[in-house]
Structure 1
Amino acid sequence: MFVARSTAKVRICAGLGTIGAAAAITLGAPAIASADPGPIGCSTPPGGAPMTAETDDSTCATEAGESGAAAAYASVGEAAAVAQENAAALALAFDGGVAVTGAPAGTAPAAIAFGPDASALALGSTPGLSIAIAAPGSLVSIGPDGAECVGMGFAGDLGTGQSCLQMH
């Protein structure tokens, strides 16, 4: 019994570590509202104030609870991440994509959208990592209602085992 719990904790920690590393990279991105085009990043550490930033072609927004962390990065796209208590959320949008994450307590969703009309939505539904990756022209989501891939992309939830993969 102890081994199973330890293994699950290791998986969750590894998933959160991956999100944390991506969030740390995002922290180095500019997070100032600007009229200039270019990539922007937003991050809200545990207990921090919500953050938004906007350029001519990019928008990002983050919000986090007292023990949650959220990071969003956009380069010619829109990214938003919200994390509640004991959760981590990451959203990355590139070249016309829209990425949105919502992380209830204990979850770690990530959404990545790249290319025109790409939309990725990742809503944490079970403890651990979930991810949605959308290619140009695709709509990909993962959440309490399962995984859905319309167009090229991947979605998966390590907690439930639900996933979809669309190659064309």
Structure 2
Amino acid sequence: MVDYRESILGGKLTTSFRNRAMTVLTAAAVMTGAAMTLGAGNAVAGPNASFSVSGMAADGSRTITIKTGGTTAGVVKWTANGDKLTASDSKSDGYGVSGYVTANPYLIADTSGHTAPYTDTAQRDLRENRTYTFWACIGSNSAGLTCSEVYDVTS
């Protein structure tokens, strides 16, 4: 029997492939946990939201802007200089804004349970020149959770 990994990867499961796979699996686990925390049920799709992301700055920083109903509902920002994650909820719509960075343990900034406008910050000294993944979500217990795609950032 031929191992599919041998035919695809020449018998070697490379470190970068393993790291990427672990990052994707970890991100999926955190997003699932976040959905469960917000009380997303089986048929709950989350609020209708659009996400726009800035290009990664030279220092590794990046911003995700969240819109609902055509207006800005919040912003999640990773600031590489200072290793700071900020989630800002600017719209009184009943939805909380959250941001995630895949440090170990995760950095999570979350505005859920607070009246807009509100900003939450998570900050910790991370190893320099490392790549992490970063994403934003919006939702509530009754509406569920809608999340952006996952993007790279650096410290």
Which has more radius of gyration? 2
TM-score, normalised relative to structure 1: 0.29
More strand by share: 1
TM (normalized to structure 2)?
0.31
